Amino acid sequence: MRSAEECELSCHALDVSVPGRLLVRGLELSIAPGNFIAVLGQNGTGKSLTLHTLAGLRPYAGGRIRLCGEDIGKTRRTTIAQHLALLPQYTEDIFPATVFDTVMIGRHPHVGRFNLESDEDRRIARAALAELDLDELSSRDVLTLSGGERRRLAIAQILTQSPQLYLLDEPTNHLDPQHQLQVLQMFRNKALQGAGVLASLHDVNLAARYADSCLLLYGDGRWELGLTADILSEDRLTELYETPIESLSWRNHQLFVATGG
């Protein structure tokens, strides 16, 4: 497997499907160091399934996926987790645990099966909590957290994992506007520092603000990928979301508004 600096996640001719329906046909995608790609589309068009498929967590109907130059299907899960982190759309806590114990789960791929976490592991975990404004909650039971606090903890956990590649399924779920911007700017900075980021988003304007490129999923097999400034247009977004969307100029930026009707 290639070194961390060269690690990228790519797919060739990838088909993503559910029984009786092909959602994505022949996807060609590379999530390389330094890139932030947003995935846009209606509910049910395959955004989450595509992320889970790229993470090697579900079978795919055709094509291939390579992580750091190797077939992801032949790569050990521990090795995958050392390079790639998936933020799922939902996180469920069944048993009580502290915030700190929960965030430390992110270090498991880097800690031997019979080893204990080191001071460096704990330092990384504390830094991740601080970055998400959760350091003062480290001793709290996760079952007492609000939805937004729990979402930030899930993000802190994948930061603690220290991967080179992030697959984020609606990372702004449950977050207030302040933390939506904080989280996306944080991953924008991760990309600038050499990480690869693929994030499904519902807010087109957040994608326009933070993503280098956008992947549009139409749900019928069709997809489009291009630079954000080139691919986000009134016509494409109106077709993508099946509702009229218009663009407005604001502070030298383009805003997209669903006008309906």
Enter the tokens of residue 3. 């070194």
* pTM confidence score: 0.95
H-helix or E-strand spanning residue 42: none
Over residues 159-175, the pLDDT tens digits come to: 999 999 999 999 999 99
- Distance of alpha carbon 13 from alpha carbon 131, whole angstroms: 38
Pick from 161, 162, 188: nearest CA to 171: 188
How many alpha carbons lie under 13 Å from residue 60 in its C-beta half-sphere? 27
Percentage with pLDDT > 70 across the chain: 96
Give the pLDDT of residue 128: 98
Over residues 127-184, the pLDDT tens digits come to: 999 999 999 999 999 999 999 999 999 999 999 999 999 999 999 999 999 999 999 9
Other C-beta atoms lying within 10 Å of the C-beta of residue 70? 14
Q: What is the dihedral of CA 43, 49, 55, 56, to 10 degrees?
A: 180
β partners of residue 227: 213
Over residues 84-95, the pLDDT tens digits come to: 999 999 988 888
Is the separation of the CB atoms in 261 and 246 below 8 Å? no
CA 103 distance to own-chain centroid: 17
- Distance of alpha carbon 21 from alpha carbon 44, whole angstroms: 11
